[in-house]
Structure 1
Amino acid sequence: MAGHSKWANIQHRKGRQDEKRGKVWTRVIREIMVAARQGGGDLSINPRLRLAVEKAKAANMPADTIKRNIDKATGNLEGVNYEEIRYEGYGIGGAAVIVDTMTDNRVRTVAEVRHVFSKYGGSMGTEGSVAFQFRHCGQLILAPGTSEEAVMEVALEAGAEDIVPDEDGAIEVLTGPGQFEAVKIALEAAGLKPEVAEVTMRAENTIPLAGDDAARMQKIIDMLEDLDDVQAVYHNAEITG
């Protein structure tokens, strides 16, 4: 079954990320520190850290900055301890929202997240209230015009679970979290470079929003993403103009 149109949403998200380039380093550094603290500083045996370092390099972070933050996390240098906390809630039209944070002050973080939900027309939910509507998986999205046959051949051979052609021509490859890296490497080796490649929370079903509802939902997403402690925002709204 063809997937929903994701390309416009992806391009909008990438544009927003470019606008907030100054915050990218902060978020990547936190991800590096948590990944290194949990799984050690050896990239060869810590896939989460490898992915974080890859993001850091894509954001043009210097190698010594990357190393310094790995050293902080593994105890070789003094650093801040960040805690991972997930919040769940509802946006416009009952759209489900997951907010992943890394914080050194959970009281501050929950207050800021709750404020955004309440101020812009959403509401905080309890733990588990919306997470069941999402699938934890690897997601790789290739641009419209990419050969579906070529993607299918390479990705399935490398361990992908599903290939979903979207209605706008983009091709979505889904993997288990553990197979994500192998599939990404295989696609790139075959000259098929994904525009998006991440381990994510993918909505199983979407809620279409347009007009004023779409604008209000986008405001909630943007304001949550602007919070310093927020690492990622996932939602099941399909936003159209």
Structure 2
Amino acid sequence: MSLTNDVSWADLVSLAVGVASLVVTVAIFHLGRRLSFRQQRERITELEGKAWGVLGPIRVEGLNSKIIVMNVDRYKRGYDGSNELTWRGWMYTGPEMIDVDHAGVVVIAGVVESFYDDSGRRTLKKSPTAAPPVLRCGHIPWRWIEDISPNGDEFDGSAIFFVRHGSPGREPYDSYTYREAIPVPFGPHSRDYYKPIPDLGLLRPRPMRDWWRFARSLKRLRTSRSRRRGLR
């Protein structure tokens, strides 16, 4: 059976034109959704104002620096104050906010051991010479922050940062830096200042490692839940 008996060339051309039109329509739609540079700056300026509204009283009045980093993907599916790990990540975490920079917000994500190498430089690699613990500080970029609620909600009075967890392993941080864990007084209000440690560099996400770590955590949690249910 020939092509012309089944499908005419006109039909093929019409189909190709239709597909091309669909591609162009989808492209125009996505381009229309993209913010212009000015719109992006206006959005960031709004978020910066809210972020400084949270950080200002922490520095000046010594208020609690804890914030809630809410997982947007989890939150929009329903939130009742609970927090269990799923394949979409944790519902929220509660780090301490310490800084705002031009690209986002900096929080204390954890404390890790540090050491001195043979030349006396700080390192995270184990060596015979221990050094003071250091803060691992996570950076949340503006492009992942959807909104900020300075007054919290009915479950917690801490400021809420609604964040898309865009890093591998459902993390809200696009990078980590390291700072001294013991603060020093700084500025007219003698606020706590955590001195950066340049020797320890910048840690970027590592997709394979981070996803593997996330998968193991999720598996351990599910195993633990199954065991608890079995004991009931």
Tell me the TM-score range normalised by the shorter chain: under 0.3
Name the TM-score, length of structure 2 as normaliser. 0.23
- Pick 1 or 2: higher relative contact order, CA cutoff 8 A, min separation 6: 1
Q: Which one has a larger percent helix, Structure 1 or Structure 2?
A: 1
